[in-house]
Amino acid sequence: MRVRQLVSRFVRVSRRDGLRAATGKALAHVAQQAPAVVQAKRDVIGQYEAILGHPLGHGLKITRQNVPPGSMTWVIPDFSANSGGHINILRMMRLLKARGFEHQHVVVMAPHRWSSREEAQAALDQAFGAHGITVSLGVETIEPCHYLVATGWQTAYWVAKYRDTRHRLYFVQDFEPAFYAYGSEHALAENTYRLGLTGITAGSWLADKLAADYGMTTYPMSFGCETDVYKPTEKRAHKHRHIFFYARPVTPRRCFELGLVALKQVCERNPDVAVIFAGWDVSGYEIPFVHLNAGTVPLPELPDLYSQCDVALILSATNLSLLPLEVAACGCPLLLNDDPQARWLLSDSEAFYCDMSVEGVSAALERVLADPQEASRRAAAALDRVREATWEAEADKVAGYLAAIDSGAKTARKRKAK
């Protein structure tokens, strides 16, 4: 059974990231299983010094003559086609390119799996579309630009230390220290908010938190939704009432275990309820109630899956993903955890909220199922909200932020010269 699972995983990774990446991950897995005596020593110092970086550039004065106005370079961790974070970055780059920020460049930070810049460019274009966004490999390829943008926390130290740019920005999509136990990586991730970078954040919760706790200058954007993809389909008659659960046991911040125990209680008390698990293969878990293990669902099939459900349980211990809006766009009522990081997007008239506890989740699910009229009202309000949420509007907002940041910097320089 174990061999079959490993083979299945190898095939899945090959299709997603390519044969070279799948082979590399397989070899790394084998190395981890080898006895310690035959493994090479782990270079912790080298690993973390490569993240902390060192100054690059010559301290050029950035002018229209030496860099294109509005040119943007984004430093990213290695990318894959299915990474939500990378999808958001490349979408914003494409939209900003159409809003006057024509020179958009990606620097892929090491370690990466590409043997050449050309290979990485072809993969990027295939995954995200050929929009004239150029690629280079390694932080040493960063060139003078108007805006230099950090993305994942591992990229921020290099951006903060780069000399030949006018503005150092930080595109923050989540509170990344919370991805780790309170140790070295937590501290290193948290310290990136103290580097003096200007934050453009996914939502108001992050903007407020980073400003209040770390003194960052922050500009919040919100989420859009591709309503041409995510839209309601006709709800069919079913034997069971369906709860959709965003199940990601490999992502601790999605609270799989807490949700699973709560769902067991709901199904025990309500025999006509079944659960649809999607987001990851949960076949390796003991689930003693009626359910469907949908696993990783192809995007074209998601709208119908969401539309057939009576409520969607989406738990977020850190910042929200795009999933609540995508589910709401399909007319499905939402149950989210009642915490600041999950509350900033939708109001009480658009979604249901619950305490982040087994009892809180199970009781709230039963309240939603017991009142289908109220569930329909809130789902309709959320659907109206989603139809107004466009990525074009958010890109307009970010373009305005960039102009304000540049204008503010010019004003500051003028004051200093007096």
Q: What are the structural domain ranges in the chain? A: 53-224+393-417, 241-387
Secondary structure in 3-state letters for 390-403 = CHHHHHHHHHHHHH
Separation CA 401–CA 415 (nearest Å) = 21
Residue 111 preceded by cis peptide, ω within 30: yes
**Mean pLDDT of all residues in the chain?**
92
The reported pLDDT for the residue numbered 307 is: 98
| Residue 29 confidence (pLDDT) above 70 | no
Token code pair at residue 415: 């004051």
Q: What proportion of the chain, given as a percentage, has pLDDT over 70?
A: 88
The reported pLDDT for the residue numbered 414 is: 47
Helix (H/G/I), strand (E/B), else coil: 48: helix
Query: Between the CA atoms of 280, 303, 333 and 336, what dihedral angle is there, to the nearest 10 degrees?
Result: 30
Predicted model pTM: 0.88
CATH number of the domain located at residue range(s) 53-224+393-417 in this protein: 3.40.50.11090
| CATH homologous superfamily for the domain 241-387 | Glycogen Phosphorylase B; (3.40.50.2000)
- The pLDDT tens digits of the residues spanning 153-211 come to 999 999 999 999 999 999 999 999 999 999 999 999 999 999 999 999 999 999 999 99
Residue position matching structure tokens 């999509």: 173
Token code pair at residue 278: 């999607």
Helix (H/G/I), strand (E/B), else coil: 358: helix
- The pLDDT tens digits of the residues spanning 341-372 come to 999 999 999 999 999 999 999 999 999 999 99
Helix (H) or strand (E) holding 243: strand 241-246
Domain 53-224+393-417 and domain 241-387, same fold? Reply is yes
User: Comparing C-alpha atoms, which of 115, 119, 116, 139 is closest to residue 127?
Assistant: 119
Q: Are strands 273-278 and 291-295 parallel, antiparallel or unpaired?
A: parallel
Residue 412: pLDDT band by 50, 70, 90 thresholds? very low
The reported pLDDT for the residue numbered 308 is: 97
- The pLDDT tens digits of the residues spanning 270-319 come to 999 999 999 999 999 999 999 999 999 999 999 999 999 999 999 999 99
DSSP annotation of 41 reads P
